[in-house]
Amino acid sequence: MSRGSFVRHAAALVAFGAASLSTVWPSTGGAQSAPPVSPGVLAPLPGSRVKAGVLVRPDTITVGDPFTLIVTIVVPEGARIEWPTLDDTTAMVVSREPAKVTRESMRAGGRTERAEYALAAWNVGALPIGLEDAIVRYGSTTLAVPLTDARVFVKSVLPGDTSMHKPKPPRDLFPRILPWWQRWWPALAVLAALSLLWWLLRHRRARRSATAYAALDPYARAVHEFERLERLALVDAGERGRYVALAIDVVRAYLTRRNASAVLSLTSAELVVAVADDERIPHDQLIALMTEGDGIKFARRMVAGPRARELAASARAVVDHVEAAERARRAAEDAARAAAVTAERDARQRDEDDARRKSRRPKAGAP
């Protein structure tokens, strides 16, 4: 090709391009409207290089099902698109989430933007989606891309013949929910009454037992405690030290009731000193028992089972010895008291007999 023919061919191409640009982008700056486009087809808008298409997927749904509206717009480089939104939550078609916009560049010098609207319909029939126009701005040119004709068909899920359909009875708007304590309060009241009755019976029985126990004399009470200690079987359970300590506590409680000086607050050594003048107490046996018991209680000295039983028997022997001496003393006092009463009665009888004999003697000078 010669240089002249090449120049002429290039000039023709430039003239053709200038004519095309003057046709695509008019010089007016006002907003332009375009006829509705067919769904799913990128149709060019008249008088511009902008193409737009709308696709509803799926195009037939039921009430409440999600569907997607895809709007695709092809614009030249440097153009800006303002996408509409669905903000009315009371409409028949509502948005489930914000629109997702993607952009793709084209080799021919344009740009493709695609907006995906996640929607849901709440009525039946052919429903308009209700989107406003998308606005394309390029320089001083403003172009409106109509989206008002986008529709979705919502089919009914009712059977063809609804004459035999019986609706469910109406439900309460806010059902009453009773708390658990209102449902179970009769049972709780009965349980509380039974618990109170059981406590009263137990308290009454404990008071009777305490009264009967308090009525026992010191020796009977000590025997009762020794028998109760044996029923616990502490030696067999491995509580040998505790067994000895409790047996010694029974001895101390018994001595407190027999001797006013032997109070419970005294130590073992002080107790031995306090009852040193009491002839009823076997002092050597008591000292040996208290000494070994202190070693077991306070020094944590180990004691074998047979030895623990021997110490408990020694404790009871101390109580039996003191009780025997106390009974002998009481018997002696009773005998002395009875002898005194008898002697007094005999003396009174003798006096009466003497007075009676004197009254029977004749007086001097009597015939």
Is the pLDDT assigned to residue 264 strictly greater than 90?
no
The residue-averaged pLDDT of 275-297 equals 89
Q: Between 159 and 82, name the one with better pLDDT.
A: 82
Confidence of residue 219 (pLDDT cuts 50, 70, 90): confident
Is the pLDDT assigned to residue 165 strictly greater than 70?
no
CA angle 289/291/295 to nearest 5° reads: 115
Tell me the chain's radius of gyration from C-alpha atoms. 60
**pLDDT given for residue 362 in this prediction:** 61
**pLDDT given for residue 43 in this prediction:** 59
Is the pLDDT assigned to residue 120 strictly greater than 90?
yes
pTM above 0.85, yes or no: no
**pLDDT given for residue 19 in this prediction:** 34
**pLDDT given for residue 150 in this prediction:** 87
Confidence of residue 363 (pLDDT cuts 50, 70, 90): low
The residue-averaged pLDDT of 284-305 equals 89
Q: Between 139 and 108, name the one with better pLDDT.
A: 139
Question: Out of 25-39, 250-264, 292-306, which region has the weakest mean confidence (pLDDT)?
Answer: 25-39
Is the pLDDT assigned to residue 28 strictly greater than 70?
no
Q: Are strands 110-121 and 66-76 parallel, antiparallel or unpaired?
A: antiparallel
Q: Quote the CA–CA distance of 157 and 202 in Å, as a whole number.
A: 71
Is the pLDDT assigned to residue 26 strictly greater than 70?
no
Q: Quote the CA–CA distance of 208 and 198 in Å, as a whole number.
A: 15
Confidence of residue 89 (pLDDT cuts 50, 70, 90): confident
Confidence of residue 11 (pLDDT cuts 50, 70, 90): very low
Confidence of residue 209 (pLDDT cuts 50, 70, 90): low
Is the pLDDT assigned to residue 119 strictly greater than 90?
yes
**pLDDT given for residue 47 in this prediction:** 59
**pLDDT given for residue 117 in this prediction:** 93
Q: Is 331 helix (H, G, I), strand (E, B) or coil?
A: helix
**pLDDT given for residue 24 in this prediction:** 33
Question: Out of 178-187, 228-237, 332-341, which region has the weakest mean confidence (pLDDT)?
Answer: 178-187
Return the structure tokens found at 340. Answer: 């005194």
Q: Are strands 125-128 and 151-155 parallel, antiparallel or unpaired?
A: antiparallel
Mean pLDDT, the chain, rounded, equals: 80
**pLDDT given for residue 210 in this prediction:** 61
Strand partners, 116: 70, 100
What is the number of H-type helices and E-type strands within the chain? 7, 13
Q: Between 211 and 132, name the one with better pLDDT.
A: 132
Return the structure tokens found at 286. Answer: 């008591």
Question: Out of 91-105, 182-196, 209-223, 274-288, which region has the weakest mean confidence (pLDDT)?
Answer: 209-223
Q: Quote the CA–CA distance of 279 and 268 in Å, as a whole number.
A: 18
